[in-house]
A = this chain, B = another copy of it.
């Protein structure tokens, strides 16, 4: 943004109204908005007479490091992870609400770039969806809490609980790319314990691609509705790792999910099966389909559903550890 600091004030030195006007100037009009930002609340169209709603937060520390993510990256990621949750119900995202807590010394350009990230993620992943409201407060710690709304278009929502023995398990999206990017960040861009700025030019193509997916994930939001229309019996987005999330789906459905190692190898980022099973944050769509129907575009078969056994998740018929991401336990370990 502005190179002259006088043109790029600190958030703590300007009024809330000034910040909000700068953000709103960078916000698209949501095609589903009946009343947009600026009043006590927004009003969003809900043509199906129901609304899908989900919330997810990015917090400096457990979810990102300011040295590694630009404002644009953070806006993009905060939008993308919430859009994926709406898609995973078989719905079309209609609107985002953004609660932003920003340190006093953050620059206006940082917040403006975040607004750009929100807008461009919506335009790329869920056209017609946009930020319709929000809240801004000062805080010692940067936090971005997003609520995404969606419409089912008359469909029934696709939950995690509908998988049946005999169904096919399939995935749209990536496996392990975002986790590879996180490994690159922790492995390459630290000075001791302190995160340092990313130099993407220092990376080979594979590492750079993983990094892009970690910072700006591209979940296949459009395919949520496609899966619902193809008769998906269960669906969820993979945020905490394939094995862990599939275990949740298996538990909710009362079934066992048996993955094919060969199928996972084909999709695994950089051919790393362990990371494909355990790595989080790709936000692909894990969906289960009836065996007698063709898989919809964008989905690849990963295994099959069987009657519930001792384990909820198997790999080529054998138990695997439910390794995955629990921020309460894993982050310190990752940080070292």
Q: Which residue numbers of A lie inside 8 Å of B, CB to CB? A: 11-12, 14-16, 19, 34-35, 38-57, 59, 61-63, 84-86, 88-89, 91, 95, 97-99, 101, 104, 132-135, 137-141, 143, 145, 147-150, 152, 157, 159-161, 235-237, 252, 326-329, 331
Q: A15-B326, A40-B85 are in contact. Are A145 and B55 (CB under 8 A)?
A: yes
The CA-CA distance from A89 to B38 in the complex, in Å, is 12
Chain B contacts of A62 at CB under 8 A?
Answer: 137-139
Q: Are B56 and A99 in contact (CB under 8 A)?
A: yes
List 8 additional contacts besides A43-B50, A62-B137; criterion CB under 8 Å: A40-B86, A45-B49, A46-B46, A46-B49, A55-B145, A57-B101, A59-B137, A141-B141
The CA-CA distance from A48 to B49 in the complex, in Å, is 6
Chain B contacts of A88 at CB under 8 A?
Answer: 40-41
- Count copies of this chain in the complex: 2
Q: Are A328 and B97 in contact (CB under 8 A)?
A: no
- Of A16, A53, A56, A148, chain B has the most CB atoms within 10 Å of the CB of A53
Chain B contacts of A331 at CB under 8 A?
Answer: 138
Q: Are B101 and A143 in contact (CB under 8 A)?
A: yes
Q: Are A52 and B47 in contact (CB under 8 A)?
A: no
Q: A16-B328, A62-B139 are in contact. Are A54 and B34 (CB under 8 A)?
A: no
26 A/B residue pairs, CB under 8 Å, sorted by A: A14-B328, A16-B326, A19-B328, A40-B84, A40-B86, A40-B235, A40-B237, A41-B88, A41-B89, A44-B51, A46-B48, A46-B49, A47-B49, A48-B49, A51-B51, A54-B133, A55-B145, A57-B137, A59-B137, A99-B147, A101-B145, A104-B328, A137-B327, A138-B328, A139-B143, A143-B145
Contact of A41 among B35, B53, B101, B134 (CB under 8 A): B53
Chain B contacts of A49 at CB under 8 A?
Answer: 45-49
